[in-house]
Structure 1
Amino acid sequence: MISAKKSIGISFAGQYLELVIHFLSVLVLARILSPEEIGVYSVAAFLMAVLHAFRDFGVPQYLIQERELTTEKIRAAMGVMIILALAVALVLFLSSWAIADFYGNPEIRKILWVMAGSFAISPFGSLLHGIFRREMELKKVFFIRIVSTICHVCVAITFAMKGLGALSLAWANFFGILSIGMAANLVRPKGLPWLPTFRNIRKILSYGSVASLGNAANTAGGNLPDLLVGKMMDMASVGYLSRANGLVQLFARFLTDALLPLILPYFSHLRRQGNDLAEHYCMSVSYLTAFAWPFFATMMLLAFPVVRTLYGPQWDASVPLVELLCLVGAIASVSMFSGQIMVANGQVRNATVAQLIVQPFRVVAVLFATRYGLLQVASALIVSECITLVVVSWYVWKAIGVSLPALLRACAKSGAITLFTVAAPLMVKAFWPNFESHAWLPLAVGAIGAAAGWLTGIFMIRHPFAEHVAPLLRSSRVATQPDSIRK
């Protein structure tokens, strides 16, 4: 296993390259596709996201946390994934007529047909991807993700320009998944079995039934607002909510998407070595919130220039949604790693039960709020995220002995750093109220000021992360000095 620092470096390099590619594509697609087209795809994508949990059936998690992974177990895992992927694809295809009729939109049926094909071909890459994550072969993961991202983006933009609308995003997803399988098999390790087996799969099914139920509940709770808004309101409203949520999720794209693939293997490795998980969990959350809270606070204050600069004036209705959803993101960051710590500690059932408890609250809150408007939906998500934090933290305390008050105390320095970070964005918002023209300028000033405030904060507060930043700053300062001074 490669070192933690090298693992994080490779993961971040892949994540940021992927982010840049996706970011550029979003800028293009936001000007080609309408809010209604984005909304139509968001409704169909919700169904795919929920069924995705049952397609994988917790197999990647099983491969990562299994103490001794044999050839027979790999073949059995492959068999489980093929059976379930084909079953889910069939269910999605057969239900497409009823779902399209439910929303009164025939375009959804075509999207679901393409998504069914995506499910059918998915096992050929996802199993290998899980094995690479277990072994921390992050160079291979990097290669697979970048190939898939480039393919996804190229197809999405090409098909959108040809007028396929929401269907272009479905085809982009199909070819992205296809490219994952092709890229993964190009770097396939020698000796890895090619053929599945359908014997001795009871253990995987037992593990997967619990893990997939929890994953599905979590995914449903996160994506259900789009589905409910699409039915109770209209597709344009779904588009605004989806775009606002996508903007807030930039933090996940910046940081957590790079970290989450490492967290479960990391915690699982610590457990196998007999280390104290409580200390490492608190430290991980402290590091995460030192980034998350300043990011969401800055995004909240600069929401209008961000939306106007990135997406244009047709998406202005998303601005107040972005401001409220930033609070959701800040709260969620405290419990971001809770599921991984419970699974790594061998308590996948508790992780699932926690999700089954909290997600119904989210559904009821959002369903009630759709009667009153999008702002009320965003407010309902804030309330439900608070409930989620309390419930999940109780299960974490049962698992490793870390209570919510103890976890918040570990994040105290993150709160102080946030105060340093928001100084410049607050001044921009107070003294630069007219963002209508040249919105990029106040955005740039606020973002640069926030970055400077964040750096000042981590050193003034003496956050542990400062120990990692200081050598980088010294290296950059030396690199920019003239040769005569360095000599």
Structure 2
Amino acid sequence: MAFGKIAAINTSGAVAAAAVTISLAMLGFSYMSFAWAWVASAVVTGLLAVGLSRQFWIFRPSLVGWRGMVAFGGYNGATSLLYKTYEALPYLLLGRILSLDAAALYSRGLMICQLPDKVILGGAISVILPAFSAEARQGRSLKQPYLNALGLITALQWPALLVLAALAYPIVDLLLGDQWHGVVPIVQIVAIASLFSFSFELNYPVLVSIGAVHDIFRRALIVCPVSVVIITAAAFFGLRAVAFSLLLVIPFQAFVSLTFVRRHMVIGWLEIWSAVWRSAVVAAITISGPLAVVIYIGSGFEISLVKALSAAALAAAGWLLGLWLTGHALLTEFCEGLPISGAAGWWRQGS
């Protein structure tokens, strides 16, 4: 639970990777700059993890609890292998069936669509897993914390993904440059499909916390082969077909994952909807501003960076308005975290 040390370790690794990448690129190492940056990041992260923990006894070989370790490691390792294979498959198919350019466009599209999750939820699992585990050890139900977490996550993730879809053109232009404009439709399609991934960050920690790691493996055995078949079939119809296939793949994965979670916590579909409907309203209000700008300009989604900033400002205002109108729990959390005295109390009185 030493999240400050974890943040310091991860930040140091990222800084080392960035410094090595830039330095070697300037020295002419080309694409090998990234390879050596991975090495540098791993070394820095490993040394700091060992140095800051100062618990060297944990590296002493031991066979205590080896059965549980083998069972968990076997299930978890097999699951990781299945998902890594599934994640790598689109690049292999696109590079083989279409072209390397198609694989590159798909890679960049996914990278941009993953930014909201990495920025908003990147460290969530580090907090969620020990929190859920502590609740499970106390014999408490994880149902309500799970539903509460769904509500908070969707209030952040859904608006961010919708704004990303609406402002994909200026965002791609800013992050990648105008030579990557071909990735814009991919970003828009994948961002919409990613709306169904709202439970993904929670499903793994909640199942591990209740000792159902075997169900994580069973879930992977179901979703990975089906997803591979769908994506493989779509690859023969082009890059956009692969992106559109995610509109089937991600909802299917979400349905299977939630089905396994519901088996252990007896959660109804209506209860899940009750936990997230306010977030859906918040997302709709958030995206109304950027869509109004796009419609007013009348040139499609190809808007300038200045106009995109105006649309982003409207999105932020709409997001806060949506939280207030729906009485969303996230606004309460936000106000309680403000350093301004009385902010949380004002919100409670106003509700």
1:280 lines up with 2:145 in the alignment: yes
Query: After the TM superposition, which residues 290-301 of structure 1 pair with which residues of structure 2 at under 5 Å, given as runs?
Result: 290-301=155-166
Is the CA contact (8 Å cut-off) linking 2:203 and 2:257 kept in structure 1? yes
Partners of 2:175 and 2:342 in 1: CA distance: 32
Partners of 1:291 and 1:438 in 2: CA distance: 24
1:225 lines up with 2:90 in the alignment: yes
How has the CA–CA distance of structure 1 residues 348 and 144 changed in structure 2, closer, same or farther, with 3 Å as cutoff? same
Choose which of 5, 28, 33 in structure 2 pairs with 1:163: 28
How has the CA–CA distance of structure 1 residues 246 and 477 changed in structure 2, closer, same or farther, with 3 Å as cutoff? farther
RMSD: 2.3
- Structure 2 regions of 5+ residues with no counterpart? 344-351
Is the CA contact (8 Å cut-off) linking 2:278 and 2:328 kept in structure 1? yes
Query: After the TM superposition, which residues 339-354 of structure 1 pair with which residues of structure 2 at under 5 Å, given as runs?
Result: 339-354=204-219
How has the CA–CA distance of structure 1 residues 474 and 172 changed in structure 2, closer, same or farther, with 3 Å as cutoff? closer
Query: After the TM superposition, which residues 36-47 of structure 1 pair with which residues of structure 2 at under 5 Å, given as runs?
Result: none
- Structure 1 regions of 5+ residues with no counterpart? 1-135, 479-487
1:198 CA displacement: 6.7
* Counterpart for residue 440 of structure 1: 305
1:261 CA displacement: 1.3
Tell me which stretches of 4 or more aligned residues in structure 1 moved more than 6 Å. 435-438
1:283 CA displacement: 0.7
Is the CA contact (8 Å cut-off) linking 2:50 and 2:56 kept in structure 1? no
* Counterpart for residue 416 of structure 1: 281
1:259 lines up with 2:124 in the alignment: yes
Q: Which amino acid aligns with 1:427?
A: A
How has the CA–CA distance of structure 1 residues 254 and 476 changed in structure 2, closer, same or farther, with 3 Å as cutoff? farther
Q: Which amino acid aligns with 2:224?
A: Q
Query: After the TM superposition, which residues 31-180 of structure 1 pair with which residues of structure 2 at under 5 Å, given as runs?
Result: 136-180=1-45
Choose which of 337, 360, 364 in structure 1 pairs with 2:229: 364
Partners of 2:220 and 2:64 in 1: CA distance: 31
1:417 CA displacement: 0.5
Is the CA contact (8 Å cut-off) linking 2:170 and 2:302 kept in structure 1? no
Q: Which amino acid aligns with 2:111?
A: G
1:463 CA displacement: 0.7
How has the CA–CA distance of structure 1 residues 418 and 219 changed in structure 2, closer, same or farther, with 3 Å as cutoff? same
Is the CA contact (8 Å cut-off) linking 1:393 and 1:404 kept in structure 2? no
1:467 lines up with 2:344 in the alignment: no
Answer with 349-358 or 197-206: which moved more: 197-206
1:472 CA displacement: 5.4
* Counterpart for residue 349 of structure 2: none
Q: Which amino acid aligns with 1:188?
A: S
How has the CA–CA distance of structure 1 residues 369 and 173 changed in structure 2, closer, same or farther, with 3 Å as cutoff? same
Please give the per-residue CA displacement for 1:339-388, whole angstroms capped at 9, x wherever unaligned: 22111111110111011101111111111111111110011112011111
Partners of 1:387 and 1:174 in 2: CA distance: 36
Partners of 1:166 and 1:235 in 2: CA distance: 16
Q: Secondary structure at the match of 2:53?
A: coil
Choose which of 171, 174, 177 in structure 2 pairs with 1:312: 177
* Counterpart for residue 235 of structure 1: 100
* Counterpart for residue 323 of structure 1: 188
Q: Which amino acid aligns with 2:293?
A: V
* Counterpart for residue 347 of structure 2: none
TM value normalised by structure 1: 0.66
TM value normalised by structure 2: 0.91
Partners of 1:416 and 1:170 in 2: CA distance: 44
* Counterpart for residue 265 of structure 2: 400
1:191 CA displacement: 5.8
1:405 CA displacement: 3.8
1:428 CA displacement: 1.6
* Counterpart for residue 210 of structure 1: 75
Q: Secondary structure at the match of 1:196?
A: coil
Q: Which amino acid aligns with 1:358?
A: V
Is the CA contact (8 Å cut-off) linking 1:228 and 1:370 kept in structure 2? yes
Partners of 2:37 and 2:98 in 1: CA distance: 27
Is the CA contact (8 Å cut-off) linking 2:289 and 2:318 kept in structure 1? yes
Is the CA contact (8 Å cut-off) linking 1:248 and 1:325 kept in structure 2? yes
How has the CA–CA distance of structure 1 residues 336 and 147 changed in structure 2, closer, same or farther, with 3 Å as cutoff? closer
1:471 CA displacement: 4.6
* Counterpart for residue 303 of structure 1: 168
Q: Secondary structure at the match of 1:381?
A: helix
Partners of 1:277 and 1:200 in 2: CA distance: 26
* Counterpart for residue 104 of structure 1: none
Answer with 297-306 or 154-163: which moved more: 154-163
1:438 CA displacement: 8.0
Q: Secondary structure at the match of 2:189?
A: helix
Please give the per-residue CA displacement for 1:287-327, whole angstroms capped at 9, x wherever unaligned: 10011111111111111111112211111011000000102
Partners of 1:193 and 1:342 in 2: CA distance: 25
How has the CA–CA distance of structure 1 residues 210 and 438 changed in structure 2, closer, same or farther, with 3 Å as cutoff? closer
How has the CA–CA distance of structure 1 residues 458 and 433 changed in structure 2, closer, same or farther, with 3 Å as cutoff? same
Choose which of 61, 67, 75 in structure 2 pairs with 1:196: 61
Partners of 1:159 and 1:267 in 2: CA distance: 42
Is the CA contact (8 Å cut-off) linking 1:229 and 1:238 kept in structure 2? yes
How has the CA–CA distance of structure 1 residues 459 and 402 changed in structure 2, closer, same or farther, with 3 Å as cutoff? same
How has the CA–CA distance of structure 1 residues 444 and 149 changed in structure 2, closer, same or farther, with 3 Å as cutoff? same
Please give the per-residue CA displacement for 1:265-303, whole angstroms capped at 9, x wherever unaligned: 111111011221111111111110011111111111111
Q: Which amino acid aligns with 2:167?
A: L
1:221 CA displacement: 2.6
* Counterpart for residue 290 of structure 2: 425
1:148 CA displacement: 0.6
1:476 CA displacement: 8.9
